[in-house]
Amino acid sequence: MIEGSQDININAYWFLASLLVFFFLSLGWVGCFRHYAWGKGLLDVPNARSSHQRPTPRGGGMVFVVLWLGAVLLTWMMGELPSGTALFLLPGGILVAGIGYGDDLYNLSPLWRALVHLIAALIAVYFLWAVDANPHWEMFSWSALGVLGAIFAIVWSINLFNFMDGTDGLAGMEACFVFSVGGEWLWQAGAYGYAYLAWVLVAAVAGFLVWNWPPARIFMGDGGSSFLGFLIAAFALAGQVCWDIPIVLWMMIYGVFWFDATVTLLRRILAGERWYTAHRSHAYQRLHQAGWPHRKVLLAVGGVNTSLVAAALWANANREALPWVFLATLMFLGVAYGGIERLRPMYPKE
């Protein structure tokens, strides 16, 4: 069971110094991992679906995974994080990162990955919600639908984040946006342990991003991207359940990723494609195909994210307007997606 509030003793200087330590540890360890990946042949070799032109080391995301999991364990052992919170975050995070890194190494079956993702989601929801909300919930009750929706949200976030990790710097930048702002909301709500862990992740991902910035010298791989997708869903659900931070606020700052991934997936299903196979149909990929270099795509997405963050911050301060701001956000994302469709159609007419 996850406690609704946490007391944490953090000296401001220690707080900032620890974030800098995580940044520089990540920066240095990613460089070491890059040499290791070259030596072991852990490379992403370009193919017809790739957006890069030369073999590039992958799996570097495991550096910020290990650093962040270590931060959770350290914070827990110091007594600054409840056991329920550690159990909510650690098992699922380890499972998702582990199966993702295994896929980086051995190209595992999608069925095995899906099974592990489902188990990770079940564990997380068990410690977050099911025990608290209604231990005897019945199928098709509102509490049951909420639990099932949470499981689906976690599994989908794991996969969509992985889908969207296809151009230099994009996934790392998205994680920094989401966890920077989400950490601020959690801090304001009194969830200091969660806020600190969110900002630790920002620091560790930022260290990786130095190496992943266009032109990327290493990719995070499925282990890192799946892990980030899991944590975004987990933090958003915890914020909603424990501290009344509306989940639509998280959806707003996460909008570029889930909107592009969801709309593109639905279009592929409706077109009768094998939707579970790799492809280059996402809006951000089509921008690159239209001649936009990685850096330009990254800056464009960063501009959209800045607008979404501004809208989400205003909506958080004006909760009565939140449904309308969320609707406007969906319209904004739809217009942006439509503009890319005109520039580079997903299904060009012959």
| Annotated binding-site positions for Mg(2+) | 162, 222
**What SS3 state is found at 81?**
coil
Whether residue 215 is preceded by a cis peptide bond, meaning omega within 30 degrees of 0, is yes
CB atoms within 10 A of CB 3: 14
81, two tokens: 């994080």
Binding residues: 162, 222
Dihedral sign computed on CA atoms, order 122, 123, 125, 129: positive
* Nearest partner of 9 among 57, 66, 60, 78, judged by Cα: 78
Contact assessment for residue 278 and residue 49, using Cβ atoms and an 8 Å cutoff: yes
Q: Bridge-partner residues for 191, per DSSP?
A: 6
Q: What is the CA radius of gyration of the chain?
A: 20
Task: Decide: 181 and 306 in contact? Cβ < 8 Å.
Answer: no
- Alpha carbon distance 100, 117 (integer Å): 10
CA 257, 127, 186, 175 torsion: positive or negative? negative
User: H or E segment at 192?
Assistant: helix 192-212
| DSSP helix/strand/coil, 278 | coil
Tell me phi and psi for residue 59, to 5 degrees: 95, 5
For residues 239 and 2, what is the distance between their CA atoms, to the nearest angstrom?
11
